[in-house]
Structure 1
């Protein structure tokens, strides 16, 4: 292949990526509520749950055409930073701060009951994940120098604290920005992306420092996504400088052994990232939404609208986003 032909092919690929990004848009489905949504769980193309501040939960059973909004009785001042839904009737919501709580519903949100509570000083839950079965895990900020980790094997009806928990050697924690900084693997192991003064990719009890923005409480990793337990992408940055694109994303194609920065990073601080396919990803933050069509190596800005969280349907193809002021949206390809 001649060098001129090589450049021509590269140019075609670049044009194709830009065209594809331009044909992708964000459609607002609902907004205007007095809640900041950071919890999002998309069961399938029809069932969508979201959770936020002021004790708010939203549910759709028609693919986002309509949402039912409710305030959890007795928890009107709580901030539910993460939600895990199993079907149109069953879901868990995770409330931050002291006491940390997890509530469950089995009747579509009409009633909730407490399945977890911990009033330990400094307790602050950050994220929750399930492996596609009834096995789940929750991570919280360090307590006595160790990240708090608790798990369930019965769909969240009861929770057991892990006896061996990762040490916070570098004064790092886990941002409760989108409920997506922990991944539970099928074998019961887990991966955590911590942030703060230093970011680490925690493989169980072992941690490796990541080449992400560091040095402040507001810097570092916010979200981790995985494809087939081999490909990982982590996003973050500095949420006090949300248009800064430096050191805000790292990629691994060997299960987290090595990490590299993308050629074209997301365009600012990003609080959530999600695989749509092996090659196509979406990431969002307060300064906009980016799409990658090459496994995370190059990102194209498709919207400057602010969102906290994004998620693809666990059983389906639709992708939803949510953010402040009760804003819920869907990714649409023309």
Structure 2
């Protein structure tokens, strides 16, 4: 477990050599002839004015989004990325934010990762003008990776295994107060199993009850599912290769309670990532590998808001799109991104290294 945590802390510098220039693929006539669900995805980079690495991203709409990243940085835009405001919590410069969840333009909850007290949760109600530290991890054995909210009140955060089981933190008041849930309903972790704090998508939810947790590092990369807000869990093999601390499932996305996509692979740039995506149509009880997977390791994934079978997967070497629910993928952009998020009004955002944040055109 110590080895896994060390590798996770090294994740950012390992990937910094990836391509940094967004090169969107030219759309074909057929792709642009139809409605939004048929058009080729094209990222438009924004100017953030920082070189922080943003692995936390919360899209609010076409014009509004939050990002959180290295050096305690949190930024917010409300004008489509034309301007970004530095709304970092005071005194957070030594922290590593890896996830942020936003309810709207003013309310957000951010997760800083790390062993012991480095894992913290912050909350704002005024657009980041002020923050409250809502949770500071008191257990040196815990390492929190990801955060999700099922609605405006109920949220969960997950830690790597403690005493042989993943630890779940819960809030029922919008992130103001947190408590560790009992682990009686959590399956035992495999030797070396942990989560990846790479994109804020190792813990995701759909609806008011269902939540999924992604793992790697062990013999089998698994997806755990809870249908009761984190009290009881079942586990299924993801079909994404593992067997190494650098391999497994890095990101999940569910468009409803049954249809989900998992992406991952091996985050080392010199290692191939075959079978880097899988899909489920039964809520995560079973997974099947993509017939044509993404071209390389992917850390983030999101369903596109127009159409029910289109999604994007991002990673340091590019962006892939699927139009058939995750069965086949093709590369449409070679820019480096770690995470992606879309919302129903059509707003899609991606974020990654060296201050890169882009909006889908």
SS of 1:54's equivalent in the other structure is helix
Given candidates 116, 137, 145, the residue that maps to 2:164 is: 145
* Residue-by-residue CA offset, 1:217-275 (whole Å, 9 max, x unaligned): 00010011112211111000000037734121111122223321112111100001111
Separation (CA, whole Å) in 2 of partners of 1:196 and 1:143: 15
Match of 2:133 among 107, 114, 123: 114
Map of 1:321 onto structure 2: 350
Does residue 264 (structure 1) correspond to residue 292 (structure 2)? The answer is yes
CA gap 1:262/1:242 in 2 versus in 1, 3 angstroms: farther
- For the 8 Å contact 1:103–1:113, the answer to whether it is kept is yes
Pick from 82, 98, 105: which aligns with 2:124?
A: 105
TM-score by length of 1: 0.89
What does 1:183-198 align with in structure 2 at a 5 Å threshold?
183-197=204-218, 198=220
Show the counterpart of 2:332.
Answer: 302
* Superposed displacement of residue 21, structure 1: 8.1
How has the CA–CA distance of structure 1 residues 216 and 32 changed in structure 2, closer, same or farther, with 3 Å as cutoff? farther
In 2: Cα distance, 1:203 partner to 1:96 partner? 22
Q: Is the 8 A contact 1:35 1:324 kept in 2?
A: yes
Unaligned runs of at least 5 residues, structure 1 = 1-13
Q: CA deviation at 1:152?
A: 1.0
Larger Rg: 1
Partner in structure 1 of residue 236 of structure 2: 208
Note closer, same or farther for the CA distance 1:63–1:240 as it changes in structure 2 (3 Å cut).
Answer: same
1:245 and 1:33 mapped to 2: Cα distance? 30
Contact 1:141–1:173 (CA under 8 A) maintained in structure 2: yes
Figure out how many residues of one structure are paired with residues of the other and give that number. Answer: 318
Contact 2:237 2:287 in 1 (8 A): no
Bigger mean CA deviation after superposition, 150-159 or 234-243: 234-243
- Say which structure is richer in strand: 1
The answer as to 2:82 corresponding to 1:65 is yes
Where in structure 2 are the equivalents of 1:76-115 lying within 5 Å?
76-97=93-114, 98-99=116-117, 100-115=119-134
Question: Which range moved further: 72-81 or 256-265?
Answer: 256-265
SS in 2 for 1:256: coil
Structure-2 separation of matches of 1:124 and 1:58: 24
**CA distance 1:187–1:170, shift in 2 (3 Å):** farther
In structure 1, how many angstroms separate the alpha carbons of the residues matched to 2:329 and 2:337? 17
Which digits, 9 at most, give the CA deviation of each residue in 1:104-147, with x for residues without a partner? 11121121111111131132211111123311111111112111
- Cα distance in 1, alignment partners of residues 312 and 270 from structure 2: 17
* Residue matched to 1:273: 301
Match of 1:53 in 2: 70
Distance 1:297 1:110 in 2: 43
* Contact map agreement 1:31 1:325 (CA 8 A) in 2: no
Counterparts of 1:154-169 in structure 2, within 5 Å, are: 154-164=173-183, 165-169=186-190
State the Cα distance separating 1:40 from its structure 2 match. Answer: 0.5
Q: Secondary structure of 2:152's partner?
A: coil
